[in-house]
Amino acid sequence: MIPLIEQALPVLVQGFWVTLRIGLFAILFGSLLGLGAALMRLSSHRSVSWLAFAYSTVFRGTPLLIQLFLLYYGIGTLEAVRHHAALWWLFSDGARCAVLAIALNSGAYMSEAIRGGLQSVPDGQLDAARAFGMSRFQAFRRVHFPLAIRQAFPAYSNELVLAIKGTSLASTIAVMELTGFARRLMSQSFLIVETFVVAGLLYLAINITLLGCAWLVEHLLLRTHAADGSGVKEAF
């Protein structure tokens, strides 16, 4: 146990922070992408909704590892990207590329969860809001989105765990995060099970904290009091 604590723990904790940073950025951008794609799916323009459908189908139908390699080794080595300052900033760095790939991947899954929520709101509610004199944006902000997010939240919070697990692939494009350091420790020492246990507990800690936060959001911010209608008031 002593060599484990002396050698492995500081290294793994260092990787933990990298994992956390990549994961949180990926979740942030992925959620925005997911919301955008879900709204596009419900657009009355055929081409717009088809584009969002194609995005979510392609990214959900192929492995994250392929997407990551395609971005980092494929697009990242194109001449046009190398000579474009902003694109080169994004694609030259493994961590930024990993954030992009995981955000694109989990955005595709999140868009399905959010779309389900948006579609669960009865048309009559939206018609009523419009008839009430709300603009389309007001109706979305005050009625459609608050009702939809309650429905979508359980499925959405599952995607948070998948996004955190996805960060482990960043180690394959030379970003040393938790799994990368764990792999190095496993291949160099005999502390294989011990390394797995510590790294696993660190992942478990991130996931349980995230799910706990999601639970709090669901039960405190999104609470509904169906009986007295005060939940509806809160939404306004």
Partner 1 sequence: MHPSLIDILGAGWGGMLLRGAGMTVFISLCGISLGMAIGVAGATLKTRGNILVRGSVAVYTLIVRSVPELLIIYLLFFGTVGLASGAADWLEWDDLTSTVFPVLVGILAIALISGSYSVEVFRGAFKAIDPGQIEAARAVGMNRSQCLRRITLPQLFWYALPGANNVWQAALKDTALISLVGLVELMRAAVLGAAATRAPLLLYALAGALYFIIGACSQALFALAERRLGPGMRRAER
What are the tokens at 138? 């007001």
Among 174, 204, 213, 216, binds partner 1 (CB under 8 A): 204
The reply on whether position 54 binds partner 1 by CB under 8 A is no
CA 21 → CA 17, 72, 96, distances in Å?
6, 19, 11
Q: Candidates 96-104, 135-143, 187-195, 225-233: pick the segment binding partner 1 (CB under 8 A).
A: 187-195
The smaller minimum CB distance to partner 1, of residues 62 and 92, is found at: 62
Coil, strand, or helix at residue 1? coil
Q: How many CA atoms lie within 13 A of 162 on its CB side?
A: 19
Among 116, 157, 183, 218, binds partner 1 (CB under 8 A): 183
The number of residues in the chain equals 236
Task: Pick the closest to residue 56 from 113, 137, 95 (CA basis).
Answer: 113
Minimum Å distance from CB 4 to partner 1?
15
Minimum Å distance from CB 137 to partner 1?
36
The reply on whether position 171 binds partner 1 by CB under 8 A is yes
The Cβ of residue 121 has, within 10 Å, a number of other Cβ atoms equal to 17
Question: Binding pattern to partner 1, positions 139-168, x when CB under 8 A?
Answer: ----------------------x--xxxxx
What are the tokens at 232? 């509806």
C-alpha angle 194/200/206, rounded to 5°?
Answer: 145
Give, as ranges, the residues between 69 and 108 that touch partner 1 (CB under 8 A).
Answer: 69-70, 73-75, 77-78
What are the tokens at 126? 């939206």
The residues binding partner 1 (CB under 8 A) are 58, 61-67, 69-70, 73-75, 77-78, 161, 164-169, 171-172, 179, 182-183, 186-187, 192-193, 196, 199-200, 203-204, 207-208
